[in-house]
Structure 1
Amino acid sequence: MTTMTKDRNYDIADINLAERGRFRMAWAAKEMPVLDLIEERFRQEQPFKGKRIAAAMHVTSETANLMRVLIAGGAEVALCASNPLSTQDDIAAALVAYYEMPVFAIKGESVEEYNQHLNAVLDIEPHITMDDGMDLVAMLHTQRQELLPNVVGGTEETTTGVIRLRAMAAQGKLAFPVIAVNDAMTKHFFDNRYGTGQSTIDGIIRATNILLAGKNFVVGGYGWCSKGIAMRARGMGANVIVTEVNPLRALEAVMDGFRVMPMLEAARIGHIFCSATGDIHVLDKHHFEVMRDGAILANSGHFDVEINLKALRAMSTQVTRVRDFLDEYTLADGRRLYVAGEGRLVNLAAAEGHPSAVMDMSFANQALAAEYLLKHAHELGKNVYNVPEAIDQEIAALKLKAMGVEIDTLTPEQEAYLNEWALGTGH
């Protein structure tokens, strides 16, 4: 049941899924103690009182807990999906039913619905944007420019979005400051590596139920997300091959013990392929032409552009849905290639996304970055900024505390030594 009221209050799949979503939110919250600590402070201080936040993010149980924290801090929040296949319909229902929150997200929504939902969250005339891929910011700057004067700033969750935003800022097109949450140490070191690594493997296995051990597993790129995928695939017994265009990252992959080669060479021997680069056509027509029968293609980059599906369709005589999240492309020569999750983020299209424990830090960054923007936006230019180091350190300290881990502190003597240039050998 899709419900769309005349005042565009919400558009979700089924409000009757709310109770199931509430239980899943509570289960995720058990692994998100840093957000709980932030919520406690926000509830007292009300930093977002009277402020409106438009969010385009993956509608998952972890995202729902971030929304809970923002609402506790006094914010009026509207949420839509940042990917047509990433919504968990029961979570969308829980936010509407239990938090009276405007949510516009349906798993499997069309591109037209996706754009309607982006517009719907912008209808609240936001002071802050929270984006995962930059589609919301792009729409603001192209179709909803009348809302720009009201926007204080924004945050961006993912590598792809930060790449787009930096390009936009370099061209002088960005109309307000944006904090690159993705680039926080407590985000990309953990979320991108451990979260993407585990959830991507989870998505591929759920889509295919294939044994990874002994297979040639080709990872496109060696950024933080790809490092995590390569690490977890090796842990499952796969023979991991890395492809890269950056010589430093390629060298790092070699030093980490992986085989490195061009994608065209890897395409001839790979059983499973997964790209996570943020770029277009990492797996392309000339790769499909040499792949072995039965090769599996997946993507863990934000947009469905890393696999050239248009070229693959043109090469195919038939496309068949053989499992819930797996399509079989039969080529003219009889070979069959399999695409998981329609080429979209496989960890969300075919699985549940990142584990809550890593999203605890990522979404703590979102909450604190939004608070920082309200306090400091008047000091910032129309550019992309890193998360302040103090926020990164605070989140790491809170996470360690929640995990029951203690660390050392410098003595006054050690502090003095680190701040004195004259001391050296013999002193």
Structure 2
Amino acid sequence: MLKKKKDGEISEPSVKKIQFADQKQEFNKRPTKISRRSLSRSISQSSTDSYSSAASYTDSSDDETSPRDKQQKNSKGNADFCIKNIKQADFGRREIEIAEQEMPALMALRKRAQGEKPLAGAKIVGCTHITAQTAVLMETLSALGAQCRWAACNIYSTQNEVAAALAEGGFSVFAWKGESEDDFWWCIDRCVNVEGWQPNMILDDGGDLTHWIYKKYPNMFKKIKGIVEESVTGVHRLYQLSKAGKLCVPAMNVNDSVTKQKFDNLYCCRESILDGLKRTTDVMFGGKQVVVCGYGEVGKGCCAALKAMGSIVYVTEIDPICALQACMDGFRLVKLNEVIRQVDIVITCTGNKNVVVREYMDRMKNGCIVCNMGHSNTEIDVASLRTPELTWERVRSQVDHVIWPDGKRIVLLAEGRLLNLSCSTVPTFVLSITATTQALALIELYNAPEGRYKQDVYLLPKKMVSAPFLSKICCCSSVSFIFQNVKQWPGRFLWKPVSITK
């Protein structure tokens, strides 16, 4: 309050300052405990071409002790897993239950076929994104008679609480969010190299699991009946093996099936691209200039979403048919070097390597956001940014500033890895279609009589995968159509081989 001096003047108000004794110390505190992280160069180009500082991408609420250093058991005393925290199992179970409501095809397959146990005796080793949707697939495969061991195909995409729920349910899961490269390969090896357990089926996403078995345990393929591959990256690697005469088991190409290309790749990415960018950068899309590299199904989904939000979208594409589609859809076709100085966001989704190289990043404007929607982390040449003259500054989880000597900076998301599964989540319903296709492919390969399939890459016929899903899934009923006129599992579907020169 104001105080009156003797001469009549009014003095300044007296202010009481509140001080906290520990205030300065609290703001100066920094975590000092560093967990063991052994970073190594991997033998696979698709997953490990760039250095990973994954340790800082873990949740701040979690302790920094590596899961490999922990001794954990589930409520039944089983310890054959390695995850972040088994105590999160209840939370993960609730997420799986939510996912089940949005996966009618897979739940219908489980209900319809669990009495027949078409996968009885199957020992499936899997390497995919470990999310609530994958958990529904794993539990479906288990209900159909299979034994499963699982690792993650991406060091950032694992949902820790879901992994905990799976471990509590008795699954051998080896994955956590924020693995190092050394952790990544260690987890895959723990799935494969176990005493008294020999896999006879492979479910892969990206080809890293298949690659690891070929390099480390080639004799295992004597008992493996087939490979089911989901991603374009993994399919390309299967083509390479087949062309070189090194593919020694049949493989199913799920990526190029109509249910994957026309639903998962397109609609899943159309919704999740915006989610991933919003969560990491809070960017406003209206008026932004965006270049999308690649106009396949993933590129189509990304362009449609960004255009609807008011962005000015450019497209780069080398395939003449896809380029014509982009033109007919109203997008301007450009070369990357023509627009790289002016765009605000660069998105890669080609499935190729070194699409955005250091030369382009040197010419980007200040604040440009760079991210990847393809499976492989090689589309953006992140390794070229690990040089002494550039400074890396962590902004938040999965967000880095890469700063040039003149002060210019770009915003790199998830160190060039898959944006939507690394930084956000994906729509459950559309994944129900892909997961059901994977399950059907596993059933067919496992039950096929010897000699039906040669050492080749096979594509799911459109007749088999389209009619059941369109007529049954979209009205959220069941997939009973698939089973109406068929009595036995072996030979249920006719598969057609894909030319390896494709």
Q: TM-score by structure 2 length?
A: 0.78
Structure 2: distance between partners of 1:122 and 1:157? 19
Displacement of 1:249 in angstroms is 1.2
Q: What are the superposed Cα offsets for residues 46-84 of structure 1, whole Å, 9 maximum, x if unpaired?
A: 011121000000000000000010010010001110011
Whichever residue aligns with residue 263 of structure 1, its letter is: L
Task: Give the aligned partner of residue 101 of structure 1.
Answer: 171
Structure 1: distance between partners of 2:188 and 2:449? 24
Q: Which moved more, 1:165-174 or 1:78-87?
A: 165-174
Structure 2: distance between partners of 1:8 and 1:276? 39
Task: Give the aligned partner of residue 192 of structure 2.
Answer: 122
Displacement of 1:161 in angstroms is 1.0
Displacement of 1:8 in angstroms is 6.9
Q: What are the superposed Cα offsets for residues 186-229 of structure 1, whole Å, 9 maximum, x if unpaired?
A: 11101000102211221111110110111011111011111111
Larger Rg: 2
Q: What are the superposed Cα offsets for residues 376-406 of structure 1, whole Å, 9 maximum, x if unpaired?
A: 26211111110133430323332134269xx
Q: TM-score by structure 1 length?
A: 0.91
Residue 397 of structure 1 pairs with residue 468 of structure 2: no
Residue 359 of structure 1 pairs with residue 431 of structure 2: yes
Structure 2: distance between partners of 1:203 and 1:400? 26
Q: What are the superposed Cα offsets for residues 244-293 of structure 1, whole Å, 9 maximum, x if unpaired?
A: 11122112101110011011112112100110111111111111121111
| 2:401 match: secondary structure | strand
Whichever residue aligns with residue 356 of structure 1, its letter is: T
For the 8 Å contact 2:371–2:412, the answer to whether it is kept is: yes
Task: Give the aligned partner of residue 296 of structure 2.
Answer: 223
Whichever residue aligns with residue 87 of structure 1, its letter is: T
Q: What are the superposed Cα offsets for residues 165-184 of structure 1, whole Å, 9 maximum, x if unpaired?
A: 11211111111111011111
For the 8 Å contact 1:4–1:10, the answer to whether it is kept is: no
For the 8 Å contact 1:188–1:224, the answer to whether it is kept is: yes
Structure 1: distance between partners of 2:98 and 2:340? 41
For the 8 Å contact 1:177–1:377, the answer to whether it is kept is: no
Residue 89 of structure 1 pairs with residue 160 of structure 2: yes
Task: Give the aligned partner of residue 183 of structure 2.
Answer: 113
Task: Give the aligned partner of residue 298 of structure 1.
Answer: 371
Structure 2: distance between partners of 1:66 and 1:316? 46
Unpaired runs of 5+ residues, structure 2, are: 1-64, 479-502
Report the number of matched residues.
403
Whichever residue aligns with residue 361 of structure 1, its letter is: I
Whichever residue aligns with residue 59 of structure 1, its letter is: I
Task: Give the aligned partner of residue 36 of structure 1.
Answer: 107
Q: What are the superposed Cα offsets for residues 122-144 of structure 1, whole Å, 9 maximum, x if unpaired?
A: 13421110000011111111111
| 2:438 match: secondary structure | helix
Residue 11 of structure 1 pairs with residue 82 of structure 2: yes
CA spacing shift, 1:46–1:23, aligned 2, 3 Å? same
2:274 to 201, 207, 215: 201
Structure 1: distance between partners of 2:152 and 2:351? 19
| 1:402 match: secondary structure | coil
Structure 1: distance between partners of 2:449 and 2:312? 48
Of all paired residues, the percent bearing the same amino acid is 34
Structure 2: distance between partners of 1:271 and 1:240? 10
Residue 370 of structure 1 pairs with residue 442 of structure 2: yes
Residue 161 of structure 1 pairs with residue 234 of structure 2: yes
| 2:390 match: secondary structure | strand
Whichever residue aligns with residue 369 of structure 2, its letter is: I
Structure 2: distance between partners of 1:236 and 1:264? 25
Structure 2: distance between partners of 1:203 and 1:384? 33
For the 8 Å contact 1:179–1:386, the answer to whether it is kept is: yes
Task: Give the aligned partner of residue 407 of structure 1.
Answer: none
Displacement of 1:309 in angstroms is 0.8
Unpaired runs of 5+ residues, structure 1, are: 405-427
Structure 1: distance between partners of 2:261 and 2:242? 22
For the 8 Å contact 2:124–2:201, the answer to whether it is kept is: yes
Task: Give the aligned partner of residue 172 of structure 1.
Answer: 245
For the 8 Å contact 2:72–2:86, the answer to whether it is kept is: no
For the 8 Å contact 2:118–2:443, the answer to whether it is kept is: yes
2:131 to 60, 85, 110: 60
- RMSD, aligned CA: 1.8
Structure 2: distance between partners of 1:56 and 1:317? 34
Whichever residue aligns with residue 296 of structure 2, its letter is: G
2:312 to 239, 242, 246: 239
